[in-house]
Amino acid sequence: MPKLTGRVALVTGGGRGIGRAICLKLASEGASVVVNDLDEEPAAGVVREIETAGGAAIAFPGSVTDPKFGDEAVALALDAYADLHIIVNNAGYTDDSFIHKMSDEQFDVMYDVHVKAPFRILRAAAHHIREAAEREAEHGGVIHRKVVNISSVAALGGNPGQVNYAAAKAAVTGMTRTLAKEWGRYKVNVNCVAFGYIETRLTEAVDEKKSIAIEGRDIQLGIPKKQAEIYAAMVPLGGAGTPKDAANGVYLFCTPESDYISGQVVTVGGGLSL
């Protein structure tokens, strides 16, 4: 039997790249998945992939930075599947600049998407988690729920041009370790995966500058080919990881085998530490 049969997962930023790979992996192991993405079509596309493969999923498009997002996402999961067992706070992006050129807005948007959004989602889930744990304990059962937050090697070792992103992702590790202590009594495993150099549209090697608009901001896509080659050469296991590699790291913290692991930050980066 798949290891996540009967489990319900909420994955933010699940329409593309690493998020898509996480959704597909959890669904392939039996989880019902609430797929969030900023845009409707990518989320709906992942839902179609999961359903075509015989799994269960629903889409919840929208911005995680919306103050109402956490409450609405948790409510949707509970309305659709009557429970919530796994939360993966994956949504995010970068907005790089050296500190002497960085605006307050550039710093604030990284805090909003990488720190405040996960905080609101987890706060919204707290009531259900507490009630469910108490109810299960009364009936003599224990169900381990899982929170997997996403950080970066930039938070652990620093990275020039990313003081905003690195600071926000470092805050995620503090949130993880604190919530592991708060929620341990409810049998919730709270862990964090720090990604290294993973190939996504944000990190792909490019010859020319590319960008996309995210909530009214022009965000750079990709990194120069020479820089990408340097990063790849730094990875002891030989080259950048794939979204599937990243998703497998998240999946480890969602399995029953992780039921006695909590408050940990694990780097998924092929041995790379910046």
- Phi and psi at residue 52, to the nearest 5°: -60, -35
Tokens 């070792």 appear where?
A: 157
Cα distances (Å, whole numbers) of residue 158 to 144, 153, 154: 33, 7, 4
Nearest to 93 by CA among 190, 195, 165, 4: 165
Do strands 145-152 and 188-195 pair parallel, antiparallel, or not at all (unpaired)? parallel
Known catalytic residue at 111: no
Choice among 165, 186, 197, 251 that is catalytic = 165
Packed helices 69-81 and 117-138: angle between N→C axes, nearest 10 degrees: 40
Q: How many CB atoms lie within 10 A of CB 257?
A: 10
CB 254 within 8 A of CB 86: yes
**Residues 255/247, Cβ–Cβ less than 8 Å:** no
Catalytic residues: 165
